[in-house]
């Protein structure tokens, strides 16, 4: 509780001509404001990019054809196939395909570099470009993307089926009859 002394007249010891006597300091008690409800007070920090990514499993999504141009190194071709089969690729839209092509060109430069400096420069630029695509665990964490594990997916499916089964009354039971009887 906060207490603050308040006087209607700034000079406390002089006579107050409107009241006919000396002014008396008054005390005003300021109470703390009630706290906001938790639902209003809580911050909603959920990012707009948050997503749970599902592994393709047996079914591999279609891989776009690599653009023509440079002589693609075999490691770059393998990277291209792996990146499009990854759980992150469904999160990309058509405008992200250009970023994947840029990453492929830089990855190709890493393998085709003739000097260590060229390789280092290409690797540095590749590292910067791939983070926008969520290709590393750190970048997936930053984008708040989590990859659903097989066990978690099965557990969620089992729990959903169990909830749906328990929510349905048996054919012989009609809960509305309890209101009539």
Q: Where are the domains of the chain?
A: 73-145
Query: How far is it, in rounded angstroms, from Cα 83 to Cα 89?
Result: 7
**pLDDT, one tens digit for every residue, the chain (181 residues):** 555 555 555 555 455 556 665 665 667 778 788 887 776 766 666 656 666 777 665 555 677 888 887 899 999 999 999 999 888 888 888 888 899 999 999 999 999 999 999 999 999 999 999 888 888 888 888 888 787 776 666 777 778 877 777 766 666 777 777 777 6
pLDDT at 41: 67
Q: Quick count: other Cβ atoms within 10 Å of Cβ 84?
A: 19
Q: Which residues contact 133 (CB under 8 A, 6 or more apart)?
A: 83, 88, 92, 96, 99, 100, 103, 139
- DSSP code of residue 9: S
pLDDT at 6: 53
Q: Quick count: other Cβ atoms within 10 Å of Cβ 161?
A: 10
Query: How far is it, in rounded angstroms, from Cα 113 to Cα 69?
Result: 17
């Amino acid at each position: 509780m906060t207490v603050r002394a308040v006087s209607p007249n700034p000079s406390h010891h002089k006579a107050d001509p409107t009241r006919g006597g000396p002014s008396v300091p008054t005390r005003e008690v300021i109470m703390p404001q009630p706290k906001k409800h938790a639902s209003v007070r809580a911050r909603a920090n959920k990012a707009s990019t948050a997503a749970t990514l599902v592994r393709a499993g047996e079914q591999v999504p279609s891989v776009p054809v690599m653009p023509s141009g440079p002589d693609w190194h075999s490691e770059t071709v393998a990277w291209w196939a792996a990146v499009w089969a990854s759980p992150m690729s469904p999160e990309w839209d058509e405008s992200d395909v250009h970023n994947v092509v840029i990453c492929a060109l830089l990855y190709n430069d890493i393998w085709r570099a003739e000097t260590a400096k060229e390789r280092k420069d290409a690797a540095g630029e590749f590292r910067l470009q791939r983070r926008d695509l969520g290709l590393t665990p750190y970048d997936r964490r930053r984008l708040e993307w989590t990859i659903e594990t097989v066990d978690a997916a099965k557990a969620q499916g089992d729990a959903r089926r169990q909830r749906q089964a328990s929510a349905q009354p048996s054919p012989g039971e009609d809960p509305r009859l309890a209101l009539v009887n």
